[in-house]
């Protein structure tokens, strides 16, 4: 394929993509293929000789699209969105064209520099405390990771190593120190709440430390509180274990709860007061607890002034992440991670090879982001972020968030018009409403109501017009409605509600 | 930006990209900007209101391109290539359009199924042993990771947990077992050779285990041997430490050496004979050592029959990776990882959330690749792999590899025509030639020759017509020439040589 053949193929692909987006609403939102569908359609071995683009392109509609679940459909209401936008798609086109394994500054300086700049732009747009700016007082800064899971694994490793480094600072012999670190590591516990995304538990598996979950309660709206955190830490201390890390969440996966940051910070100041811990105390088992705030989905809302009261307390924590690919119009993958002190990452993750030696890195003037992450090479992901911010402007991003928040409020109001059918479990919070069916009578047990809700949920999936996810919170089976995709409008949400009413009425009538 | 505005912008971007590729040779291969160049050109804050595409697109040429190092230039000879191709770029366009956080099968079945199929295609094309096929006898299979670093961190975590699981299989109480695992982990050592990519050391930092390097020698061509491995393991055992993991390399970073797989496998069979180890032996400190083969760059050559004698021994190891984004025309990022038994990955990495529950996963009929990797969500990366394989065919991929191997042989022949100036240190191996300058006299010390080579290398960088990387092997400063980019041809390599001659002559004259 030469450049002119590519040009023709690319234009024809753009035409197909435009048509796909223009008619996305007409497609069944969830793929209905059976497991193994594709193996039946493809040869067992790679072709020996090249095929034509015309033959390949045909297979998009006939073999690929049947297996796509349409995340940009206005009828996609499951999990959290993974949003797409035209400016981000243009960014991906250019970044693919400028391909390279940009593992250090000289590999393509713009890949590093644009990332630092747009992450500073975003930190200001989100009203994050200045400690998270690359130019801030504590030498912090932001970096683009693929997913929140990578960001959390990375900061947990950095937190573990910071804790162990401080605990063994008095040992000067290298081998003795390695032994002391290995032994001390056996006591370490990472915490999240029971509502924290599984990424934290997985990060603990990766980092080779224990994981424990702090209980949350319906009465607190499923948020983690300082009081429960204190209890959990006390119980672990009683067993001789040491807590070095905590994920606090701004917008939990199930219900978009916001953990009680103020009381969490207060409890940690009381238990492990970072500012006054002496090196002797750190040696003897009282290290600072690193708090990472996971705002994977809801953090996007911080572009709106009405949510920015949430951010000053973040200065009391250590790191923070938001997935721009969820609710901020940057195509997957793009999770922005901020740390208050970037040396915490580089101390844990830097290694050096002779082949990578270059004057710029050695001068200390440049950032080598490979030491801020698990992968070595990097894609040019800041380009799509830059395009999205510039084409929408902050006001456009605010309008995007506010539209969805309003749609969810309207949806919750609709649910409230049918108290005979529905009951809201939580929300709407950040465009997410979690609800269940009403029991047939006041005397219905939790199990009976769960069964009814589950039946309705299954029927919604079978019906196939809309796609939602379910969850179980506090023993209650519930349905999640999250209308936060780019093309969703009021009339779609009205239709979602009508479908739900019709199915719920049927479920209750048959029960 | 509506879909028609996107169409226009995308076509104009395609035109710019085609022009960029058609004239890439005219650009200075390495960016010559100074650190901090971009911050001077951009505003300190994100724009409040949206800008036009015309304004943004202008900035590509004026602000972005000056900061790009042109990895597709025929004058890019540094590190290893990160190759681009038109079919892969088309794949990225579609995969961006079908954006979603495909963390499980139902998120878009084709994302999972196409990945399994094309990775089986590739395993066959590389002549990997059947144990690495998804349909193979040991329930193995392949998965796409971003980079080799991620792949290595992932398999090291899996190896660590497999070792610890087997070592503690006799303990039934959960808490007691957790304690035993934590204590046993303190003894664990991961190995590579001193020529192994830093990814292995970094993976050990991430996994929280010790790292040690097996020596390599110039006399062995810098490959790791079974004999040195035996010595290293014995020394560690003498200290009460346990080796659980080894990275062996097919094509090391510095010189493209191939570790001596047969003697490595023989030594491991002798020390920790996986087939006959009893659970008592595993309890008492004699676990199986997981061997991962890192073929990040050179593995691409296995599409050619003349390299496939290297693969039967891989059946004696545990996992294997190749970066298609290096030398196989799939744009960054795309590292394929194979394991002999996929449950080793899922046992170490799976976690579950109520919100992710679905009938397909529960049925066991589908693969949820999130449990084969560190990130949670996934891009649709198999699409670009599929397009590349189909448009080139296996024969086209073979021609691509053979062209570069031949160019490197020609280059080495040219070096040999000037024994007064150059001496080959290693190679050519897999299109990589590592060379140094000749000393002024027979009596020149290593230090003197190193200084000469370094001076020439620095002058090549300053000259700017070609971009190479340097390394230090066995105390020798050397220059690496790796002509493996898509557009490089014989006349380019001739010109590389002429530039090198001219600079080397000047260096030696001035010395």
Give tens-digit pLDDT for B185-217.
999 999 999 999 999 999 999 999 999 999 999
Query: Largest Cα–Cα distance of chain A, in whole Å?
Result: 75
Residue A142 burial (C-beta neighbours within 10 Å; 0-12, 13-18, 19+): buried
Give me the CATH code for the A105-379 domain, please. 3.40.640.10
Write the secondary structure of B270-310 as one string of H (helix), E (strand) and C (coil): HHCCCCCCCHHHHHCCCCCCEEEEECCCHHHHHHCHHHHHH
pTM above 0.95, yes or no: yes
Q: Which two tokens stand for residue B249?
A: 């390399």
Contact A404, A300 (CB under 8 A): no
* A contacts of B121 (beta carbons < 8 Å): 45-46
Which residues on A lie below 8 Å from B208 (Cβ)? 157, 160, 185, 207-209
pLDDT at B340: 97
Residues near A102 by beta carbon (within 8 Å), at least 6 away in sequence:
A108, A111, A112, A377, A378, A379, A380
Q: Which residues contact B403 (CB under 8 A, 6 or more apart)?
A: none
Per-domain residue ranges for chain A? 105-379
8 A C-beta contact, residue B152 and residue B294: yes
Helix-helix angle A382-416:A86-97, to 10 degrees: 150
Q: Say if the Cβ atoms of A108 and B69 lie within 8 Å.
A: yes
B56 touches chain A (CB under 8 A): yes
B chain contacts of residue A114, beta-carbon cutoff 8 Å:
38, 64, 67
CA atoms in the 13 A half-sphere facing the CB of A278: 3
DSSP-derived pairing of the beta strands A432-437 and A422-429:
antiparallel
Task: Give yes or no for B393 touching A (CB within 8 A).
Answer: yes
Nearest to B143 by CA among B370, B362, B366, B358: B370
H or E element: which one contains B441? none
Segment holding B141, helix H or strand E:
strand B141-145
Question: pLDDT value at position B363?
Answer: 66
- The rounded distance, in Å, linking the Cα atoms of A367 and A113 is 8
CA-nearest of B218, B227, B301 to B260 is: B227
Within a 10 A sphere around the Cβ of A447, how many other Cβ atoms? 10
Please answer yes or no on whether B53 and A106 come within 8 Å at the CB atom.
no
Enumerate the residues of chain A whose CB falls inside 8 A of the CB of residue B84: 96-97, 99
Q: Is B43 left (phi over 0), alpha (psi -120 to 50) or beta?
A: beta
Contact flag A355-B480 (C-beta cutoff 8 Å): yes
Coil, strand or helix at B95? helix
- Is B374 close to A15, i.e. CB distance below 8 A? no
Instruction: Determine which of B12, B28, B35 to mutate to test the interface with A (most A C-beta atoms within 10 Å).
Output: B35
User: Which distant-in-sequence residues (6+ apart) come within 8 Å of B387 by Cβ?
Assistant: A56, B87, B88, B90, B91
The pLDDT of residue A353: 62
- What is the C-alpha to C-alpha distance for residues A29 and B170, in angstroms, rounded to an integer? 48
Low-confidence ranges of chain B (pLDDT < 70): 353-357, 361-364
Q: How far apart are CA A26 and CA B508, in angstroms?
A: 72
Rounded to the nearest angstrom, the minimum Cα separation between B391 and chain A is: 5
Token pair in block for residue A367: 């950032």
- Length of chain B equals 511
What is the distance between the alpha carbons of residues B387 and B100, in angstroms, rounded to a whole number?
Answer: 20
**Tokens linked to A364:** 């200390």
What CATH number should be reported for the domain whose range is B390-510?
A: 3.90.1150.170
Q: Residue A363, class by beta-carbon neighbours within 10 Å (0-12 exposed, 13-18 middle, 19+ buried)?
A: exposed
Q: Note whether B135 contacts A: Cβ–Cβ < 8 A.
A: no
Q: A263, exposed or middle or buried, with CB in 10 Å at 0-12, 13-18, 19+?
A: middle
Q: Which of B33, B53, B374 sits opposite A109 (nearest CB)?
A: B33
Cβ within 8 Å, pair B66-A208: no
Chain A residues touching residue B94 (CB < 8 angstroms): 13, 17, 60, 64
Q: Residue holding tokens 């424990």? A: A212
Between strands B290-294 and B319-323, the pairing is parallel
CB spacing of A393 vs B30 below 8 angstroms? no
CATH class of B147-343: alpha beta
Cβ pair A481, A432 in contact under 8 A = yes
Q: How far apart are CA A49 and CA A302, in angstroms?
A: 52
In Å, what is the CA distance from A448 to each residue of A441, A442, A468, A477, A502?
Answer: 10, 11, 21, 10, 20
- Residues on chain A touching B387 (C-beta within 8 angstroms): 56
Tokens of A477: 């089976």
**Beta carbons of A114 and B64 less than 8 Å apart:** yes
In what order do the strands lie in the sheet containing B432-437? B422-429, B432-437, B476-481, B469-473
In order of B75, B122, B251, B329, the CA distances from B300 in angstroms are 21, 10, 10, 10
- Asked if A207 lies within 8 A of B205 by C-beta distance, the reply is no
Chain A residues near residue B184 by CB distance under 8 angstroms: none
Question: A101 and chain B: CB distance < 8 Å anywhere?
Answer: yes
Strand partners, A338: A142, A320
B158/B166 Cα distance (integer angstroms): 12
The Cα–Cα gap between B292 and B337 comes to 10
Residues whose CB falls within 8 Å of the CB of residue A81, separated by 6 or more in sequence, listed in order? A71, A326, A327, A482, A484, A485
Specify the DSSP class assigned to residue B419. Answer: T
Q: Which of residues 429-468 of A touch B (CB under 8 A)?
A: none
pLDDT at B353: 62
pLDDT at A6: 98
Q: CB-based burial of residue B9 (10 Å sphere; 0-12 exposed, 13-18 middle, 19+ buried)? A: buried
Q: Does B253 touch chain A (CB under 8 A)?
A: yes
Binary contact (B93, A90; C-beta < 8 A): no
Residue found under tokens 């950095």 = A158
Which tokens sit at B73?
């230039």
Residue to mutate among B147, B197, B462, with most A CBs inside 10 A, is: B147
Most A CBs within 10 Å, among B61, B111, B202, B461, to test the A interface: B202
Residue of B nearest to A211 (CA): B178
A209 chain-B contacts, CB cut-off 8 A: 208
CB A256 within 8 A of CB A432: yes
- Which residues of chain A from 485 to 504 reach within 8 Å of chain B, CB to CB? none
Of B99, B185, B351, the CB nearest to A201: B351
Which residues is A190 bridged to in the sheet? A211, A245
CA gyration radius, chain A: 25
* Min Cα separation A468/chain B (Å): 10
Say if residues A103 and A378 touch (Cβ distance below 8 Å): yes
pLDDT for the residue numbered B362: 63
Interface of A with B in 189-218 (CB under 8 A): 197-199, 201-202, 205-210
Query: How many Å apart are CA B478 and CA B458, to the nearest integer?
Result: 12
Low-confidence stretches of chain A (pLDDT < 50) are none
Q: How far apart are CA A508 and CA A437, in angstroms?
A: 9
Quick one: residue B443, left, alpha or beta (phi over 0 = left, psi -120 to 50 = alpha)?
A: alpha
Query: How far is C-alpha B479 from the chain's CA centre?
Result: 20
How many Å lie between the alpha carbon of B148 and the closest alpha carbon of chain A? 8
Cβ neighbours, 10 Å, residue B371: 22
Give residues with Cβ within 8 angstroms of A487, minimum separation 6: A24, A25, A72, A73, A74
């Amino acid at each position: 394929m030469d450049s002119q053949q590519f040009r023709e193929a690319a234009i024809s692909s753009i035409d197909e993509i435009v048509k796909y987006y223009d008619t996305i609403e007409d497609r069944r939102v969830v793929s209905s293929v059976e497991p193994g569908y594709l193996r039946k359609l493809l040869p067992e071995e790679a072709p020996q000789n090249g095929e034509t683009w015309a033959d390949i392109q045909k297979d998009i509609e006939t073999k690929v699209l049947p297996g796509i679940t349409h995340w940009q459909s206005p009828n996609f209401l499951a999990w959290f969105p993974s949003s797409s936008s035209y400016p981000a798609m243009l960014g991906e086109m250019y970044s693919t064209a400028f391909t390279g394994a940009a593992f250090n500054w000289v590999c393509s300086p713009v890949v590093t520099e644009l990332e630092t700049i747009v992450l500073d732009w975003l930190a200001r747009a989100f009203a994050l405390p200045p400690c998270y700016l690359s130019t801030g007082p504590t030498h912090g800064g932001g970096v683009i990771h693929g997913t929140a899971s990578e960001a959390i694994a990375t900061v947990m490793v950095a937190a573990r190593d910071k804790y162990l480094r401080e605990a063994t600072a008095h040992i000067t012999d290298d081998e003795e120190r390695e032994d002391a670190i290995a032994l001390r590591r056996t006591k370490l516990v990472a915490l999240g709440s029971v509502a924290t995304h599984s990424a934290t538990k997985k990060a603990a598996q990766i980092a080779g430390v224990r994981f424990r979950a702090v209980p949350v309660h319906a009465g607190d709206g499923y948020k983690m509180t300082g009081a429960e955190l204190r209890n959990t830490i006390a119980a672990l201390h009683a067993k001789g274990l040491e807590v070095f890390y905590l994920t606090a969440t701004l917008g939990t996966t199930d219900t978009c709860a916001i953990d009680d940051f103020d009381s969490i910070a207060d409890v940690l100041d009381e238990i492990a007061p970072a500012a006054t811990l002496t090196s002797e105390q750190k040696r003897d088992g009282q290290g600072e607890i690193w708090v990472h705030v996971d705002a994977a989905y809801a953090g996007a809302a911080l572009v709106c002034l009405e949510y920015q009261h949430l951010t000053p307390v973040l200065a009391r924590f250590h790191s923070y992440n938001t997935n721009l690919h969820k609710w901020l119009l940057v195509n997957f993958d793009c999770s922005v991670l901020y740390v208050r002190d970037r040396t915490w990452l580089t101390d844990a993750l830097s290694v050096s090879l002779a082949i990578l030696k270059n004057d710029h890195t050695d001068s200390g003037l440049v950032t080598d982001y490979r030491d801020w992450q698990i992968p070595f090479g990097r894609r040019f992901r800041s380009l799509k972020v830059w395009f999205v911010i510039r084409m929408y402007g902050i006001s456009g991003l605010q309008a995007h968030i506010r539209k969805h928040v309003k749609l969810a409020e309207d949806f919750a109001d609709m649910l409230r018009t049918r108290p005979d059918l529905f009951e809201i479990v939580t929300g709407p919070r950040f465009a997410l409403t979690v609800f269940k069916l009403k029991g047939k009578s006041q005397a219905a047990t939790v199990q009976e109501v769960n069964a009814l809700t589950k039946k309705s949920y299954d029927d919604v999936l079978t019906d196939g017009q809309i796609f939602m996810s379910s969850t179980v919170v506090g023993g209650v089976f519930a349905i999640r409605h999250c209308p936060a995709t780019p093309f969703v409008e009021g009339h779609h949400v009205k239709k979602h509600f009508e479908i739900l009413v019709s199915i719920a009425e049927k479920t209750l009538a048959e029960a």
